[in-house]
């Protein structure tokens, strides 16, 4: 069947298959212009409970569906996401600010998870286990964990939802999503396409709210919610981890990072530069896998900085809808203030702004791409996520120094290294305390690979076979009385 839909996207929340409005609403703004795009319902804890009711009611039937039938619905959803790519990308750029090319890529990336999990859901295999006693046989089966809740961020307003929802749905779970208050429109658009694709009422619910803490409490306190999946800051992750303790929820947490990107003397300079540009400046530096500390070895340092300056000069700061834009606005005034204060701290402690370092004339939320040298590990800019278009460069001497500096952080999400020496690349990749390592690559996230962090960057993995497993329980069946 050919999936069909219209390009008009909703501004109401979705509970139990109904588009629900509320007397209380909150506005959504375009960060490039400050214009209001829409008002969406400002829902509360009671609405979250209604969504849990709906998800609980829908669970038995969805869980009992053969995985092949769930896969057919997910495949239609995938098709709709792709056929609506342009409309979704325009909406994303308006709501979140990223350049249109990046928004189009995010739609394709977000849709790829739906396709992957449509396929992978059919492979939720259990095991047969060789017995320890002649009268007994052992097998395991995989079952969906139950009702899930997802709390998602604004930086990938579509992909962070499809990555979570498609894995949950493929496993046979139902879900309630609370999107970021900055980007609820993408979440609602994605949900509408899921409904159009045939996802039954109550299987996928969306609660929009300004009261993230109140709704977060309602979702974590309810014992019917068996799993919480969260992408956002480590600070909020800790709160949700604590709140989930009482009901012993299963958790997937994708939290903050402080990614090192290490360039060794033996690196291919062009590759290192293109990898750094891709990792650092995508989404105006607002991703949890952005290179936060660029560690460059003394022998290549000067050449690297000169070449990076040349590339940064080619970036075009402009509203995302401008086809020439490669760096859009930051998400809000707090984000701009954070970048400014980190730069001020770094320069006060001796770092040097080589390029940029100032707000950009396109509007209040635009910031010029910046290169900062002479960065020391103890500066705030090297110990916390920058979340802005600032390339922060640290010089190092030896491989051991690089590993020590790279690992000297409570975070461990992404890391990158550039070297032509295969022994070194392998050695350093093993030594880095992170969930993912890009070796001579600045971009690596995709649907077939496990995404996630170690240390205080989180728990669990999304995407890949591991991503499905997160929504499944293993049940052991022991069959006795085989012999007379
Ligand atoms: P960021 O700083 O990138 O916005 P946050 O961790 O603050 O990251 O936000 C990520 C998501 O967590 C958003 O959907 C936000 O509304 C939500 N959130 C923020 N605070 C809480 C909280 N106390 N409880 C539940 N969700 C929260």
Q: Are residues 113 and 237 in the same domain?
A: yes
**pTM score:** 0.97
First to last CA, the chain: 52
Q: What is the mean pLDDT of residues 197-215?
A: 98
**Cα–Cα separations (whole angstroms), residue 348 to 109, 206, 312, 356:** 40, 45, 24, 16
Q: Are residues 74 and 130 in the same domain?
A: yes
| CB contact at 8 A, 384 and 229 | no
If you measure from the C-alpha of residue 287 to the centroid of ligand 1, how many angstroms do you get, rounded to a whole number?
15
Q: What is the DSSP letter of 121?
A: G
DSSP, residue by residue, 400-435: HHHHHHHH-SSEESEEEEE-S-HHHHHHHHHHS-SS
If you measure from the C-alpha of residue 182 to the centroid of ligand 1, how many angstroms do you get, rounded to a whole number?
10
Q: Are residues 205 and 340 in the same domain?
A: no
Secondary structure tally for the chain: helices H, strands E: 15, 22
1 domain residue, yes or no: no
Q: Are residues 229 and 204 in the same domain?
A: yes
307 CB near ligand 1 (under 6 Å): no
Q: What is the mean pLDDT of residues 16-22?
A: 97
Active-site residue, from 288, 385, 399, 433: 288
Burial of residue 184 (number of CB atoms within 10 Å: 0-12, 13-18, 19+): buried
DSSP, residue by residue, 272-313: HHHHHHHHHHGGGG-STTSEEEEEEEHHHHHHHHHHHHHHHT
The total number of structural domains that make up the chain:
2
To the query of whether residue 470 is one of the catalytic residues in this protein, the response is no
**What's the half-sphere exposure (Cβ side, CA atoms, 13 Å) at 196?**
23
Please count the other Cβ atoms lying within 10 Å of the Cβ belonging to residue 452. Answer: 25
Q: Are residues 32 and 107 in the same domain?
A: yes
pLDDT value of position 7: 53
Sign of the dihedral through C-alpha 161, 163, 168, 172: positive
104: left (phi over 0), alpha (psi -120 to 50) or beta: alpha
pLDDT value of position 368: 98
- Centroid of chain to Cα 391: 21
CA–CA separation, 320 and 284 (whole Å): 10
8 domain residue, yes or no: no
Residue with tokens 């375009």: 30
Burial of residue 310 (number of CB atoms within 10 Å: 0-12, 13-18, 19+): exposed
233 CB near ligand 1 (under 6 Å): yes
List pLDDT tens digits, range 309-353: 999 999 999 999 999 999 999 999 999 999 999 999 999 999 999
pLDDT value of position 35: 96
174 domain residue, yes or no: yes
Q: Are residues 151 and 165 in the same domain?
A: yes
Q: What atom of ligand 1 comes closest to residue 216's alpha carbon?
A: 25
List pLDDT tens digits, range 446-482: 999 999 999 999 999 999 999 999 999 999 999 999 9
221 CB near ligand 1 (under 6 Å): no
Q: Are residues 22 and 93 in the same domain?
A: yes
If you measure from the C-alpha of residue 242 to the centroid of ligand 1, how many angstroms do you get, rounded to a whole number?
15
Q: Are residues 193 and 297 in the same domain?
A: no
CA–CA separation, 272 and 115 (whole Å): 32
150 domain residue, yes or no: yes
- Centroid of chain to Cα 468: 16
Query: What CATH number is attached to the domain comprising 278?
Result: 3.40.309.10
pLDDT, mean over the chain: 97
Q: Is pLDDT of 131 > 90? A: yes
pLDDT value of position 4: 40
To the query of whether residue 441 is one of the catalytic residues in this protein, the response is no
Sign of the dihedral through C-alpha 219, 220, 222, 224: positive
174 contact partners, CB below 8 Å, separation of at least 6: 55, 56, 58, 59, 62, 146, 147, 148, 168, 202, 203, 204, 205
166 domain residue, yes or no: yes
361 contact partners, CB below 8 Å, separation of at least 6: none
102 domain residue, yes or no: yes
Per-residue pLDDT band for 5 (boundaries 50, 70, 90) equals very low
What domain range is 385 assigned to?
Answer: 259-447
SS3 255: coil
If you measure from the C-alpha of residue 153 to the centroid of ligand 1, how many angstroms do you get, rounded to a whole number?
7
pLDDT value of position 261: 98
The percent of residues above 70 in pLDDT, for the chain, comes to: 99
Q: What atom of ligand 1 comes closest to residue 152's alpha carbon?
A: 14
Q: Are residues 141 and 19 in the same domain?
A: yes
Active-site residue, from 254, 311, 354, 433: 254
5 domain residue, yes or no: no
List pLDDT tens digits, range 400-456: 999 999 999 999 999 999 999 999 999 999 999 999 999 999 999 999 999 999 999
Per-residue pLDDT band for 1 (boundaries 50, 70, 90) equals very low
Query: What CATH number is attached to the domain comprising 53?
Result: 3.40.605.10
List pLDDT tens digits, range 357-375: 999 999 999 999 999 999 9
95 domain residue, yes or no: yes
CA–CA separation, 346 and 340 (whole Å): 10
Residue 474: beta bridge partners?
142
Read off the tokens for 351: 């770092």
Read off the tokens for 240: 């949700």
Pocket test for ligand 1, best of 153, 249, 287 (most atoms within 8 A of CB): 153
Please count the other Cβ atoms lying within 10 Å of the Cβ belonging to residue 483. Answer: 8
Q: Are residues 17 and 134 in the same domain?
A: yes
SS3 118: helix
Q: Are residues 369 and 389 in the same domain?
A: yes
Q: Are residues 346 and 359 in the same domain?
A: yes
CA–CA separation, 439 and 264 (whole Å): 12
Q: Is pLDDT of 484 > 90? A: no
């Amino acid at each position: 069947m050919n999936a069909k839909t219209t390009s008009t996207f909703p501004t109401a929340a979705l509970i139990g298959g109904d588009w629900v409005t509320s007397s209380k609403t909150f506005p959504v703004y375009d960060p490039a212009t400050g214009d209001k795009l829409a008002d969406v319902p400002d829902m509360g804890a009671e609405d979250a409970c209604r969504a849990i009711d709906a998800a609980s009611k829908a669970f038995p039937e969805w869980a009992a569906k053969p995985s092949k039938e769930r896969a057919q619905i997910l495949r239609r959803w995938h098709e709709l996401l792709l056929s609506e790519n342009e409309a979704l990308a325009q909406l994303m750029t308006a709501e979140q600010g990223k350049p249109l090319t990046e928004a189009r890529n995010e739609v394709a990336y977000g849709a790829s998870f739906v396709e992957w999990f449509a396929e992978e859901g059919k492979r939720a295999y259990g095991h047969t286990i060789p017995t320890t006693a002649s009268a007994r046989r052992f097998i395991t089966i995989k079952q969906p964990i139950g009702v899930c809740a997802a709390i998602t961020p604004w930086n990938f307003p579509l992909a962070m939802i499809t990555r979570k929802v498609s894995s949950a749905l493929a496993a046979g779970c139902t879900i309630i999503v609370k999107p970021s208050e900055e980007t609820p429109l993408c979440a609602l658009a994605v949900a509408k396409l899921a409904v159009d694709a045939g996802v039954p009422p109550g299987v996928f619910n969306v609660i929009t709210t300004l009261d993230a803490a109140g709704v977060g409490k309602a979702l974590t306190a309810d014992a019917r919610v068996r799993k919480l999946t969260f992408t956002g800051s480590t600070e909020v992750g800790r709160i949700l981890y604590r709140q989930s303790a009482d009901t012993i929820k299963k958790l997937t947490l994708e939290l903050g990072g402080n990614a090192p990107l290490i360039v060794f003397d033996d690196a291919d300079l062009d590759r290192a530069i293109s990898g750094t540009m891709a990792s650092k400046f995508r989404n105006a530096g607002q991703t949890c896998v952005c290179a936060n500390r660029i560690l460059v070895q003394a022998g290549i340092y000067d050449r690297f900085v000169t070449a990076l300056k040349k590339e940064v000069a080619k970036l075009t700061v402009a509203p995302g809808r401008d086809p020439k834009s490669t760096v859009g606005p930051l998400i809000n005034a707090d984000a701009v203030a954070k970048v400014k204060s980190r730069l001020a701290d770094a320069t006060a402690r001796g770092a040097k702004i080589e390029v940029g370092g100032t707000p950009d004339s396109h509007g209040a939320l635009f910031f010029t791409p910046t290169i900062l040298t002479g960065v020391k590990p103890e500066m705030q800019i090297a110990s916390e996520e920058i979340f802005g278009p600032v390339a922060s460069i640290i010089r190092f001497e030896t491989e051991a120094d690089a590993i020590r500096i790279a690992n000297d952080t409570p975070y461990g999400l992404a890391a990158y290294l550039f070297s032509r020496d295969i022994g070194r690349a392998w050695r350093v990749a093993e030594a880095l305390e992170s969930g993912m390592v890009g070796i001579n690559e600045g971009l690596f996230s995709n649907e077939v690979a496990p995404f996630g962090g170690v240390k205080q960057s989180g728990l669990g993995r999304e995407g890949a076979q591991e991503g499905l497993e997160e929504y499944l329980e293993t049940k052991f069946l022991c069959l006795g009385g085989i012999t007379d």
